[in-house]
Amino acid sequence: MLNTNIIGTENGVAAKVTDRGQLVVATIEYSEAYTVSATVINTAYNFIGPKAGKRFVITAILLNADKSVSATNGAVIVIYEATSATSTTASKTILSIELLKQVNRDITGLNLIVSEGVWLSIKTDDNNINATILGYYIDT
C-alpha cells in the first residue's frame, strides 16, 4: 500500500476517496430526469425501478401542485421506496410534504441514496401533482 495525494496544480485542492472507494475530483455522475404526473389519488407512480447491482442517488426533487389541487386543504405528497411497482405502502419514506394549490417546491443539492432492489414512487391524497426526480444509478 502506497499513501499518495492528488492535488490540483491550478487551485491546490486535493482529490478525495469516498468510503465506497470512489476517487472524487468532480461530480460522480450526471443526473438524469425522471418525471411523473400523479393524477389519481392514493395510487403509486414510479420514478424508477430496481436495477440489479445498482442503487439510485437523488440529486434534486421538483414538485408542482397544479390548479386541480384543493384550494383549502392542498395535497399531501409522499415520495417513498416500495417493494413493488404498484405498492402504496412505503418501506422507507424519502419525503412527505404538503403543497397548496399551484405551488412549486424545488429541493436541490441533494445526495440521497435509495435502497437496492426497490421502486422509487410517489403518491398523493389530491390530484394533480407533477413531479421530477433528478439523479443517477451507482454500483452497489
Find residue 132's DSSP bridge partners: 35, 62
Which DSSP string do the residues of 88-131 spell out, in sequence order? -S-SEEEEEEEE-TTEEEEEEEEEEEPPTT-EEEEEESSS-EEE
pLDDT at 55 over 90: yes
Distances (CA, A) of 116 to 43, 49, 89: 22, 10, 17
Assigned C-alpha cell, 131: 413531479
Mean pLDDT of the chain: 92
Question: Residue 116 pLDDT more than 80?
Answer: yes
Q: Tell me, what's the pLDDT at 24?
A: 75
pLDDT the model gives residue 4 = 79
For residues 8-37, average pLDDT = 82
Region 61-79 average pLDDT: 94
Percentage above 90 pLDDT, the chain = 74
- Round to whole Å and give the CA distance between 95 and 135: 15
Domain segments of the chain: what residues? 29-139
Lowest mean pLDDT among 6-20, 30-44, 50-64: 6-20
DSSP conformation letters of 4-57: ---B-TTT-PBPEE-TTS-EESS-SS--EEEEEEE-STT--EEEE---TTEEEE
Does residue 20 have a pLDDT over 80? no
Q: What is the pTM of this model?
A: 0.84
Please give the class, per CATH, of domain 29-139.
Answer: mainly beta
Separation of CA 110 from chain center: 8
Instruction: Give yes or no for residue 28 having a pLDDT over 80.
Output: no
pLDDT attached to residue 22: 76
